[in-house]
Amino acid sequence: LYMRNLFQGDLGDSTSTRRPVMTDLQQFVPNTMELAFAALVFAIAVGVPLGLIGAVYRDRWPDHVSRFVALIGTSVPVFWLGLLMLYVFFYKLQWLPGPGRLDTGMQVPDRITGLITADAALQGQWDVVRSSLSHLVLPAVVLGSFALGVVSRMLRSSLVAALGEDYVRTARAKGVVERKVVAGHALRNALIPTVTVLGLTFASLLAGAVLTETIFSWPGIGRYSVQAALKLDYPALLG
Count of alpha carbons within 13 Å of 83, Cβ hemisphere only?
Answer: 5
Tell me: the pLDDT tens digits for 107-125? 888 888 888 888 888 888 8
- Residue 71 has a CB neighbour count (10 Å cut-off) of 13
The whole-number pLDDT of residue 139 equals: 92
The whole-number pLDDT of residue 88 equals: 92
Compute the residue count for the chain: 239
Q: Rounded to the nearest 5°, which phi and psi values hold at 13?
A: -110, 140
Q: In angstroms, rounded to a whole number, what is the distance separating the alpha carbons of residues 198 and 98?
A: 29
* Low-confidence residues in the chain, pLDDT < 50: none
Beta bridge partners of 174: none
Q: Structure pTM?
A: 0.84
The whole-number pLDDT of residue 16 equals: 87
The whole-number pLDDT of residue 172 equals: 80
DSSP 118-140: HHHHHTT-HHHHHHHHHHHHHHH
Q: How far lies 179's CA from each of 29, 66, 175, 186, in Å?
A: 42, 19, 11, 10
Q: Which residues contact 116 (CB under 8 A, 6 or more apart)?
A: 31, 34, 101, 102, 108, 109, 128, 132
The whole-number pLDDT of residue 142 equals: 92
Q: In angstroms, rounded to a whole number, what is the distance separating the alpha carbons of residues 18 and 98?
A: 29
Tell me: the pLDDT tens digits for 39-62? 999 999 999 899 888 888 888 898
| Helix ranges, 57-122 (H) | 61-75, 78-85, 116-122
Q: Measured in whole angstroms, how far is the alpha carbon of residue 82 from the centre of its chain? A: 14
